[in-house]
Structure 1
């Protein structure tokens, strides 16, 4: 397969980049729809069929490109990327217009070049080149959305309602560990987010008169939260129910990553305890974690000698692979209630939840993907996880669809910041790698 020269690719991708599809801005909803139409047209140019499908007030671009030969027996691959982008503000910090694709000093600059238009383009262009040459060995189904940047769930709802099977999925909305060190993200953590309210009486009291005798809501809240907080880097054992430990293959990959000490230091933070740096990846990827996000009560700014009658907190647990939010949420609530002091009224609300997702590292699709990347890049991707929640990956994992979550963004790609960028060489290289990936996935049979 012949990949066109960089300049030709840049000129074509610049059309998509120029569409200011900022999903967070109501004034740009027309542009989001225009970007969806561009993606659908790209699928049609490759010999496929595609439509812009309204979904909950926002557009999806849904299409498919048949395998060049025997599509009835070829594997089916579901491809995802998003065509909406973050707002470009502050504009004065950009060195070139954000919606103008510019090559400078070996980099391509533009809003969306890394997240995610440039990477979606790699999926689309590789499909087009293979299809037009009659060399596409898989059926490709594209399902792309325009609300990823505002936390929308339309694509997840679409996948849930889709009755057709896929042999594997490819999601290009990720990046490398560092330059020229690719990675496959095979697991995402889930989440249960709670709001806790503790009341200890009818009204605030004078601390001089009642201090030491009356129950203090702030004290009661602290005791309540202690029931779920980690000790020695591990959450209470009941909150680890269902956990699937990281495989030896994954653990080996993690030893090749930057040290936990360097990652914590680079974030300007400090280790939670003496073992936190050494266990950084295990704790953030392979274990559940609990964090208190905010506390409200009493008078934290004015000098006011009262015993507070009410205190509130937001607290969450990140769920590791194998865990079920429907199982963990009631256990979490009970641990809070059990830790509360006598006399405290505790109200716990579950505000949101999302399941974790895990792709078996020995899945055939993953192995073929590793081979494809190594074929083009000369290096085998590392198997990593993310501590965040990606509902689409969780849903695909629940359906038993092995997902290759990867990409060509870098830590220095300035994602969500001014001067977003990727190395210019990664655009044709990414297309070549995706083409190799499609060819290898054709072996799924």
Structure 2
């Protein structure tokens, strides 16, 4: 692919025709999206995995109907779909990624409509997977359909089936099927945009580790009246240990972790409070800009505790208690370095000589894009074509470990992390939703991007 950075390689008439074509396609795209979203394809073991199989088969059928050669692959995990169609002679190949598995719905009572019955309200489509990430699948299909069978580039579509549980079989898929996935550009549709009406390219992602820490003080439970006072219980010891992970301001107190400074975008505290649902009177924690705290500095959250419940507890000194800790890492921090730093901190701060064990539960590296060159130029131009405004480069505080896996496997490919979500999409939460107007712009942008990449001078 040429290094020519030209962004005026498509005529306005071509862009307008693709925009009109996508607009005409949207009713059909929505029907297919709603059908996919009705399949409860939760990839966690506790859920019916026949639904994940059904979701893979439905995805494969949609791609096959567009003339792609399709296979469903299983490399020890949930089914993934790989599809391909050749482009013109000498044209670049673009790989389009999404995932068809979804998060559990959680408590149905927290949803305003059934989680697996897509429902429109006020221009948004509500349902589990309506945004994350079945809309990503349908954005790819809309872009393919917009070119009416005459694609300007070769296209490979890769739809994973276990992104929501850590992509454990992805390394094996990349090892055994990597040549099928090799491409000049990779579009990973699993992120977000900056705001309604403001598109974004995600250029940094934080890494992550998840650990389980267990604190033990006794070899059995004992009467809290008879022994309370001189003998420490495990829950109190655990709480004291967890409290050492932050300083009084709320900054992460683990020594040796990297941190960075985020882009200087306008993001006020009021917006964070509105988007997060932070209660009035609850202070923000940490120091530095809000976006640095969210995108480029480490964070630590306690996401679960194993201990007797309030309803079932007795007057007993609990002998052992555990907590699950999620730590997000600076985008350029190696995940195992972060784990070793956290493990050392927890062992060094064991309260009252309590026994502390730390087990690694999950990990993933972050991502930093070198977002320059002709592919990025054309991507930014395609976003501007679709939205009428220039996109911004953003970071995301969450972790998408598969992005680093693709960057390592295909170092020569330009990786574009895009998405269908907006700040109110509530992915993973109750009332997940897709803004339908923004979704159409996403589809236009991807259709135009394929055209722009196909029009780049070759050489």
1:98 paired residue among 107, 113, 117: 117
User: Using a 3 Å threshold, how does the CA distance of structure 1 residues 153 and 211 change in structure 2: closer, same or farther?
Assistant: closer
Cα deviation, residue 85, structure 1: 5.4
Q: Distance in 2 between matches of 1:53 and 1:29?
A: 13
Q: Distance in 2 between matches of 1:201 and 1:431?
A: 59
Q: Distance in 2 between matches of 1:93 and 1:345?
A: 45
Q: Does 1:260 align with 2:281?
A: no
Is the deviation greater in 288-297 or in 122-131? 122-131
Corresponding residue of 1:368: 378
The alignment's TM-score, normalised by the length of structure 1, stands at 0.80
Q: Does 1:407 align with 2:423?
A: no
User: Using a 3 Å threshold, how does the CA distance of structure 1 residues 60 and 201 change in structure 2: closer, same or farther?
Assistant: closer
2:200 paired residue among 170, 179, 183: 183
Q: Distance in 1 between matches of 2:139 and 2:318?
A: 57
Q: How does 1:107-146 map to 2 (within 5 A)?
A: 113-130=130-147, 132-133=149-150, 136=152, 138-146=153-161
2:54 paired residue among 31, 34, 42: 31
Corresponding residue of 1:285: 295
The alignment's TM-score, normalised by the length of structure 2, stands at 0.77
Q: Deviations over 1:26-73 (max 9, x none)?
A: 4535532431322331452xxx433333443643221223332324xx
Corresponding residue of 1:225: 242
User: Using a 3 Å threshold, how does the CA distance of structure 1 residues 364 and 287 change in structure 2: closer, same or farther?
Assistant: farther
Is the deviation greater in 122-131 or in 315-324? 122-131
Corresponding residue of 1:192: 209
Structure 1: tracts of 5 or more residues without a match: none
Corresponding residue of 2:329: 319
1:159 paired residue among 145, 160, 174: 174
Q: Does 1:332 align with 2:350?
A: no
2:88 paired residue among 52, 63, 68: 68
Cα deviation, residue 113, structure 1: 4.8
1:345 paired residue among 344, 355, 377: 355
SS at 1:432 equivalent: helix
Structure 2: tracts of 5 or more residues without a match: 1-13, 43-47
SS at 2:158 equivalent: strand
8 A Cα contact 1:359 1:397, kept in partner: no
Q: Distance in 2 between matches of 1:310 and 1:425?
A: 50
Q: Distance in 1 between matches of 2:282 and 2:415?
A: 33
Q: Deviations over 1:131-167 (max 9, x none)?
A: 7446x1x332211134445655445642354443433
Q: Deviations over 1:194-247 (max 9, x none)?
A: 222222233445555554433443443344334433453432353414x4x24x
8 A Cα contact 2:254 2:342, kept in partner: no
Is the deviation greater in 321-330 or in 213-222? 213-222
Aligned length: 426
Is the deviation greater in 82-91 or in 187-196? 82-91
SS at 1:251 equivalent: coil
Cα deviation, residue 376, structure 1: 3.3
Corresponding residue of 1:383: 393
User: Using a 3 Å threshold, how does the CA distance of structure 1 residues 352 and 68 change in structure 2: closer, same or farther?
Assistant: same
Corresponding residue of 2:443: 431
